[in-house]
Amino acid sequence: MPTLALLGGFAFFAGAARQVPEAPLRPTDGIAVLTGGPQRVGTGLVLLAEGRARWLMISGVGQSAMLEDLSRNAGLPTDLLLASGLDRQVTLGRAATSTRGNGEEIAAWTAEHGIGSLRVVTAAFHMPRALMELRRVLPGVELIAHPVQTAGPRPALLVREYAKLIGAALGLSALKPD
């Protein structure tokens, strides 16, 4: 029976890993990008430039990363941010090294900016665990999933992420960062 429950849970999870963003997009107070894969940073920057939120946090960036570099790597013109003043609305979070760490970093930033609704940008396969960790530290904040993905995750990646999701559900993410 436990094997059947795990397989059923995995099938549900694999379906969720194909999610797409809501349409039409509702505005939110803030946008939080969890780094770690393609399309995430670029999507967050475009959403900010479109006026979908007033603030943007890019969580888990490297210690030496600069906003101009992140923008360029995302294929966006850096003058878009600088000329419009949007760069003053972006916070680069450098402390997080895990999904749980992203949650803690984003929670502190959310409190500092008085954010009541937050659009969460990460890969679709990572979204269930990201939302779980964020809900733990942001119980009063409305979280809106904005999944991004490239061609779709490889089966091995899905299995690994599903195992991490189960671990996070059991509270094991507090013991060891991913």
Tell me the CATH class for 25-170.
Answer: alpha beta
Query: Is the confidence at residue 178, as pLDDT, over 60?
Result: no
Place of tokens 């992140």: 70
Q: Are the C-beta atoms of 147 and 35 separated by less than 8 Å? A: no
Element (H, E) at 33: strand 30-34
pLDDT tens digits along 79-136: 767 667 788 899 999 999 999 999 999 999 999 999 999 999 999 999 999 999 999 9
Sign of the C-alpha dihedral computed for residues 177, 70, 108 and 111 taken in this order? negative
| pLDDT tens digits, 50-72 | 999 999 999 999 888 898 888 88
pTM of the model: 0.87
